[in-house]
Amino acid sequence: MLGIEKLLEKLLHRQNLPKEEREELDLDVKTKYVHGLLFYNTYFDYVAKALGKETVCFIVGGWIRDRLLNRPIKKNVDVDFIVTSDPFEIVKKLKKILGKGDIFQFEKEKNVATIIFYEGNTRYRFDFSFMDISDIMNNPQLDFYDKEKAIISRIEEDLLKRDFTINAMAIVFDDALGMGASQTVLFDPSGGLEDLQKGVVRPVSIKNIQEDPVRIFRGYRIAQQLDFEIDKEFEKWARKNADIVINSPRERVRDEILKIFDEENSYKMIEKMISDHIFQQIVPEIEEMTKIGKTGEFHKYPLLQHSLKTLEYMEEILKKKS
């Protein structure tokens, strides 16, 4: 069994090293147990009241990833839940319990309901997505243990449809509740914990990226945010298939790009995306910029490099002012 203290000691030690010095750690993650208290947030007690007794709930995604890395909690707290009852009813109950919040509902592959609320300057966003298990629960041929196994299989199916392995991990919500928090299984069917240890952003599958090409931008953005490497095979594929992003929803691409600019050293990631012929797909003028060299005695660099240097220097100026 892998104790969470040992896991964190190794992960955090590695994350404090420069990227070029990160060694391969001998970390046994075959049995993936973690302690639920690591993932606890005080508002989870209110969520528990809104869920009721009949709802099965999992915490998934970025919250799991970031807590395993012990990343500082900043001004935006985003948590994704998978629930087995109507998500919209849950957020309505939660709003009533909290006495605050804005709620909305949307449909993608499944029903998702969101509540956004504030505590001081901190913005909380809780997303609840629906996982239907009615066929499992209503099957008279399954006993309790068979149903439990079938539910686990279904959550793993859900995780295998996600974007990147380090975002495709989950725990049982009940195991992360306050004083009752206990050791819990980390559901990780695609090897996200290993990739977290290695510091690699790797897609769960190329098929998942093809179905939603905006995930290419997200992969580069997550690598920048965490100071991780992009999986070499994924980068090679993205470079070769960069034009797949052309018809992606513009507002979603915009959001990912703005998040890149919101992080430190954005110029490095923009430069990498240009090198991989991805950024040109949304700003085609860059292709022409690459052909223009130094223009006059006051231009030290070719035009594209000059523009990237401008972005770099602007970031330095903004750092000093903040």
Tens-binned pLDDT, residue by residue, of the chain (322 aa) = 233 344 444 444 544 555 555 544 444 444 578 888 889 999 999 999 999 888 889 999 999 999 999 888 888 899 999 999 999 999 999 999 999 999 998 765 567 999 999 999 999 999 999 999 989 988 999 888 888 888 889 999 999 999 999 999 999 998 898 767 778 889 999 999 999 999 999 999 999 999 999 999 999 999 999 999 999 999 999 999 999 998 888 899 899 988 888 877 777 888 888 888 888 887 776 666 666 556 656 666 655 565 656 666 566 665 665 5
The answer on 11 and 139 residing in a single domain is yes
Q: Looking at 163, 198, 233, which one is the last position of a domain? A: 198
Q: Looking at 151, 178, 198, which one is the last position of a domain? A: 198
The answer on 190 and 112 residing in a single domain is yes
Find, among 19, 11, 8, the residue nearest to 224 by Cα: 19
Helix (H, G, I), strand (E, B) or coil at 35: strand
The answer on 206 and 186 residing in a single domain is no
Distance of alpha carbon 175 from the chain centroid: 21
Find, among 181, 318, 304, the residue nearest to 263 by Cα: 318
The answer on 156 and 18 residing in a single domain is yes
The answer on 265 and 158 residing in a single domain is no
Distance CA 236, CA 128 (A): 34
The answer on 231 and 164 residing in a single domain is no
Which domain does 262 fall in, by range? 200-322
Pairing between β-strand 122-130 and β-strand 76-83 as defined by DSSP bridges: parallel
Burial of 241 (0-12, 13-18, 19+ CB in 10 A): middle
* Residue linked to tokens 């040109």: 280
The answer on 152 and 71 residing in a single domain is yes
* Residue linked to tokens 């220097």: 313
- Tally the domains of the chain: 2
Residues in the chain, how many?
A: 322
232-240 helix and 214-226 helix, angle to the nearest 10 degrees? 140
- Backbone φ, ψ for residue 177 (5° rounding): -100, 105
The answer on 120 and 221 residing in a single domain is no
The answer on 49 and 20 residing in a single domain is yes
pTM of the model: 0.80
Q: What is the largest CA-CA distance in the chain?
A: 82
CATH of the domain at 77: 3.30.460.10
